[in-house]
Amino acid sequence: MRKFAIWLKNLFKKDIMLSVSLAVAIISLFITPPSKELLHDINWRTLATLFMLLSVLEGFKSENIFEPLLKRTKNLSSMKTLTVFFVYCVFFSSMFVTNDVSLIIFVPLTIIMFRAGGQEKYILPVLTFENIAAIRGSLLTPFGSPQNLFLYAKSGISTPEFMKMMAPLWIFSAFLLYIFISILYRKNSKEKIEIKEEIVSEPETAKKTHHKRRIMYQVLFVIVVASIVTRTHYYPVVLGLVFITLLIGDRKILVKTDYVLLLTFLCFFTFSSSICRHPAISGFLERSVAGHEYIWSILLSQVISNVPASIVLYPFSTNLRALLYGLDSAGLCSLIGSLASVINLRLYMREYPGKVFAFIKTFTWISLAFFAVVVLPQLALIKYFL
């Protein structure tokens, strides 16, 4: 029992976001006692999708599926060019595979390349740029992020209308990201990177042994992404298919899956569902949110993150544009603002477990600078199209 208590203490000390999410979930259960309705309100679809993505992409990492892409990046000898490559890979891919997945794919590759080239001093700012790219690139499409998908489904807006609404933010962010990258390398825009460590390929026999598993993970990835894009109601079937396939084909991946992150999501969803069912809180939100969606979505996201905030605020909102703009900008203010940022932090902590506060410091000042540039133009767009 004592060993378990020590393990639990170390877990919460290591995972700050888990500690925060669990604390607010427990508090919310005192506000609104647990019930069957509470369980029904939790966004189980998002949790199931996240489990599938984390498991399949853990398999990608295990089988070195991105090795060809990694080898291609070795031809990019300039630090600025390499940074632009990774940041815009995240920016454009996040529109289709969601911001979470784009970070899961490219953050580990970024760390590997910059470490191999002896340029670890740039890892923190570049990962922050990738985080911004994931948040701002994904906002263009209805399926780019969980909150976009939720609001798209609830509002009934068409896909062309949605993309037209978000396009100005997306285009401006694409240009602004390049400016931020240029500022990072302002002292030497042609600074070189030389890969000192060779990327060792597996023996031919090992490649043959793992060939079937590599195909399995690629097929599963296509199935999972298709279930997200099509918004199928049969996601439990897809979940069962993924789980059974992994259980038979590569069960060790099920052990490696990041269940701490899943628990963090669950805690935030519990909180949002609980406070929505409290009459006094619901009455307050009904009086306060309408007409102030932009500021409410940004501020509330700093407490419970943008996905739960979208669930809490949508029933009381009358301006979809303002709500979307706020939720898709909230992740620029703090780590809690977007659950994609939590994923980025956890990916970094796997490689640098003792540098969590260094990550938070760099992330915060760069992201807030980006937010400071975009916040007023977005507000002007909201007022103009009101």
Per-residue pLDDT tens over the stretch 144-162? 887 887 788 778 788 889 9
Instruction: State the chain's mean pLDDT as an integer.
Output: 83
Of the listed ranges 75-79, 91-95, 235-239, 283-287, the least confidently predicted one is 75-79
Instruction: Indicate the pLDDT class of residue 12, thresholds 50, 70 and 90.
Output: low
Share of the chain above pLDDT 90, in %: 30
DSSP string for 298-336 = HHHHHHH-HHHHHHHHGGG-S-HHHHHHHHTTGGGT-ST
Counting Cβ atoms within 10 Å, is residue 8 exposed (0-12), middle (13-18) or buried (19+)? exposed
pLDDT of 137 reads 95
Residue 44 Cα distances to 17, 145, 155, angstroms: 20, 15, 20
Residue identified by tokens 């595979």 is: 97
If pLDDT is split at 50, 70 and 90, which confidence band does 200 have?
very low
Q: What is the mean pLDDT of residues 102-127?
A: 86
Mean pLDDT lowest for which of 24-33, 190-199, 336-345?
190-199
Model pLDDT, residue 13: 59
The pLDDT value recorded for residue 208 is 47
- The pLDDT of residue 196 is 58
Euclidean distance between CA atoms 87 and 128, whole angstroms: 9
Give the SS3 label for residue 157: coil
Among residues 65, 70, 62, 67, which one has the least CA distance to residue 86? 70
Reduced to 3 states (helix: H, G, I; strand: E, B; else coil), residue 192 is: strand
Higher pLDDT, 340 or 193: 340
Per-residue pLDDT band for 270 (boundaries 50, 70, 90) equals confident
Using one digit for the tens of pLDDT, what is the confidence trace for 202-251?
444 344 447 788 889 889 988 987 887 676 788 899 999 999 999 998 88
Q: What is the pLDDT of residue 67?
A: 67
pLDDT of amino acid 15: 63
CB 239 within 8 A of CB 51: yes
The helix/strand/coil state of 78 is strand
Residue 247 tokens, joined: 């259980």
Report the pLDDT value the prediction gives residue 238, as an integer from 0 to 100: 92
Q: What is the pLDDT of residue 30?
A: 82
pLDDT-derived band at 112 (thresholds 50, 70, 90) equals confident
Residue, of 265 and 338, whose pLDDT is higher:
338
